[in-house]
Amino acid sequence: MLKAYKIAVLAIYVVAALVSIGYNLGSGVTVSGGAGVLKTGGTVSDVDGKEITSVVGWYDAVSAGETHFVTYEGNSYELPSSVLKNVTVKELKRNNLDLGIDLQGGTRVLLKPAEKVSSEVVNTAIIPVLQSRINAYGLQEIVLRSECDIENCFVVVEIAGESKDVIERLLASRGNFEAKIPNEVRISGGRGSFLLGGNAHSVELSGDKIKIDSGTFERGGTITLDGVDHEILNYTENSVFLSASVLKGSDVENVFTDSTRSVIQRINGGYRFAFSILLSREGAERFAKVTSGIGADPSRSGYLRYPIILYLDNKPVTELSIAADLAGRVLTEISIEGFREDRQGAVSERSALQSILKAGALPVGLDIVNIESVSPKLGSGFMDSASKSAFFAVIAVSIVVLARYRSLKIALPMVLTSIGEVIILLGISAHGNNLPWITAMFAGLVLVGLAYRKKVHVEVLDLFGILLVPLLAVFFSWTIDLAVIAGVIAFIGTGISQMIIISDEVGRHRLVPISPWEKIKKAFSMVFASAITVISAMFALLFVGVGLVKGFAITSIVGVLVGVLITRPAYGQVVEIVLSQKKTAINPTSHV
């Protein structure tokens, strides 16, 4: 075994990859876009007593009939079809592979900053805010990354199972929060005044100009009085209309999401949502100053004359009446309310507002360049097609190799080695436990150490491979999408091609009186040259390309490294063992 340590290392790493990938034996589908009692992230195991094993099975089960009995997280619910048709599902996560939206369904959004910004701003100021919003909203399985070309930087967001409306509201909003209280100053004889925190401020009309204290302004102008920004909205002969900015996004110190301060209530015609926010002392004092000068509403007992209007990105979100007993009081906790006709809409709107307020504002606005959705049912079909393509690629390669060498002693190890390196590649990409790879690395080092003590020739490159491949698995992982599967299929072809080079080179020189190892070394010189060429080309795609091209490039680079450091040396050792058997010769029927 020690003489064949390269083959043993390959076997150890294949086992580590399989453990890292893992497998879930459960049944059902996972809710990716919830509605009603079916919450996102839960598992549906059967509908009307029939076990659900796929996305297609779910949609077939809920497409007919008016009501269905659904088993969700072990509990049975009778739900109308109108609710179930709004629920999106995805395949139950069977392993630790992270599938892209083109294989499991979801939405991909391409966002472009409204202003030209550097990649550093995108990565340090924009993406963290978006990630905070997403976390606060409770979305799962999100991919956020920056993509930059020669001129612009973009943000790519991939979200499984959410509607376009939610994503547009959550991501495209810049998040500039502001609360304003309007006020009307009555003018008599061209003069008037209003109170702000106990201080009186004079207002005088002079033609098309407005004089406030000692400053002169036009319609639309702004003035800061006692630390409060005021905008002059309009004026008539008898009134001047002002709007005082009492709260800004920086004044929001906390957003409460607990059940006592974040509620949904059914009222006539729909659902009311409300949640509380904690304000800074400065914001609360501005609120107290402005409300101290607003009188009571004569038509509504117990309320001030004017409401507080909440704005998000300069658009009014909600308008709240102010109780008269709150005038002039420094309040650090206020409630934000809203209304939607259906409960799901109320929940979604409340969650979006909470997440935006909690995460804060973006440094620049974001424009949606492109938004595309793939249904879970269509994604499941893509996954089936891609898996079949990879399977048939292996079958086709096996047939060609067997026809070429007409010897299972060469063809079978070649095909098994190819399958093994695909398993290792997928194991590296898996988002799983790193312990199998650390264990495999130490096992490989121990094996090589024992082989060295037994005077077995050990290559420095073998040690490098034993160390590098587990480190790639520990520090890197990526999403499996159609581009990655295309890379895997191409990787199968190039891997077999390189193993054919090894076999053919040894076969060509079978009559030359040199050792099998010398023949294999000659073949490996060509394999390494080919690998360096592929890696160089893929590095260019990795740093210049965008989107799906990067997935293909990463797969190709890692695949080539696994090949030249682990699987090709193992296959070379197989060939060496085969050649050492006097009755066996490598005799390809033709040359490439």
For 28-72, what is each residue's pLDDT tens digit? 887 766 666 777 778 888 888 888 888 778 888 887 778 888 888
End-to-end CA distance of the chain: 33
**Of 91-100, 424-433, 468-477, where does mean pLDDT reach its minimum?**
91-100
What pLDDT was estimated at residue 78? 84
According to CATH, where is 1.20.1640.10 located in the chain? 5-23+376-580
- Name residues whose C-beta falls within 8 Å of residue 556's C-beta, 6 or more positions apart in sequence: 487, 490, 491, 534, 535, 538
Mean pLDDT value of segment 14-25:
86
- Most confident option among 31-35, 108-112, 132-136, 527-531: 108-112
Q: Is the pLDDT of residue 112 over 60?
A: yes
Q: How far apart are CA 174 and CA 365, in angstroms?
A: 5
**pLDDT band at residue 592, thresholds of 50, 70 and 90?**
very low
Q: Give the E-state strand segments of 81-198 in sequence order.
A: 88-91, 106-113, 142-148, 153-159, 177-186, 191-196
| pLDDT interval class at 590 (50, 70, 90) | very low
Say if domain 5-23+376-580 classifies as CATH 1.20.1640.10: yes
Write down the pLDDT at residue 162.
56
CA–CA gap between residue 19 and residue 98 (Å, rounded): 15
The CATH 3.30.70.3400 domain(s) of the chain lie at 106-174+367-374
Cα dihedral value 484, 43, 272, 167, nearest 10: 0
Tokens, residue 35: 């509605």
The whole-number pLDDT of residue 180 equals 93
**224-228, 234-238, 355-359 — which is least confidently predicted?**
355-359
Residues 6 or more apart in contact with residue 576 via CB below 8 angstroms: 516, 517, 520
pLDDT score of 376: 59
How confident is the model at residue 589, as a pLDDT?
A: 53
In which band, very low, low, confident or very high, does the pLDDT at 317 lie, cut at 50, 70 and 90?
confident
Out of 231-235, 244-248, 522-526, which region has the weakest mean confidence (pLDDT)?
522-526
Please give the structure tokens belonging to residue 209.
């100009």
Torsion on CA atoms 408, 414, 417, 423, rounded to nearest 10: -100
d(CA 210, CA 192): 11
In sequence order, the 6+-apart residues with CB closer than 8 A to the CB of 73 are: 42, 43
Residues pairing with 217 in the sheet: 210
- Would you state the pLDDT for residue 519? 55
What percent of the chain is predicted at pLDDT more than 70? Answer: 87
Please say if the pLDDT value at position 271 is more than 90.
no
Q: Which residues of 166-188 are buried (b: 16+ CB within 10 A; e: fewer)?
A: bbebbbbbbbbbbbbbbbbbebe
* Tokens matching residue 95: 């392993």
Binned at pLDDT 50, 70 and 90, residue 372 comes out as: confident
Are 427 and 21 spatial neighbours (Cβ–Cβ below 8 Å)? yes
**418 falls in which pLDDT band (50, 70, 90)?**
confident
> What is residue 375's predicted lDDT score, i.e. its pLDDT?
66
Q: Taking Cα atoms as reference points, which of 143, 169, 164, 167 lies closest to residue 155?
A: 143
> In this structure, are residues 98 and 21 in contact, taking their beta carbons and an 8 Å threshold?
no
306 close to 183: Cβ distance less than 8 angstroms: yes
Higher pLDDT, 56 or 566: 566
Q: What is the mean pLDDT of residues 530-550?
A: 71
CB 310 within 8 A of CB 317: yes
CB 204 within 8 A of CB 213: no
Residue 185: partners with Cβ closer than 8 Å, 6 or more residues away: 192, 193, 194, 203, 239, 240, 241, 242
Mean pLDDT of 269-291: 88
> How does residue 591 score in pLDDT terms, banded at 50, 70 and 90?
very low
Residue 120 burial by Cβ neighbours in a 10 Å radius (0-12, 13-18, 19+): exposed
pLDDT surpassing 80 at residue 154: yes
Give the lowest-confidence range in 192-196, 444-448, 570-574: 570-574
* 383 pLDDT more than 70: no
> Would the pLDDT of 549 be above 60?
yes
194/293 Cα distance (integer angstroms): 7
What share of the chain has pLDDT > 90, as a percent?
A: 10
Higher pLDDT, 89 or 437: 437
Least confident of 386-395, 513-522, 523-532: 513-522
Residue 396 pLDDT exceeds 70:
yes
- Topology at the third CATH level for domain 106-174+367-374: Alpha-Beta Plaits (3.30.70)
Confidence at 445, pLDDT banded by 50, 70, 90 = very high
pLDDT of residue 38: 79
What are the backbone dihedrals phi and psi of residue 233, each rounded to the nearest 5 degrees, phi first? Answer: -75, -50
Which range has the worst mean pLDDT, 6-15, 83-92, 359-368, 455-464? Answer: 83-92
For residue 461, the model assigns a pLDDT of 81
What does the pLDDT look like over 79-103, one tens digit per residue? 887 777 767 777 777 778 877 777 7
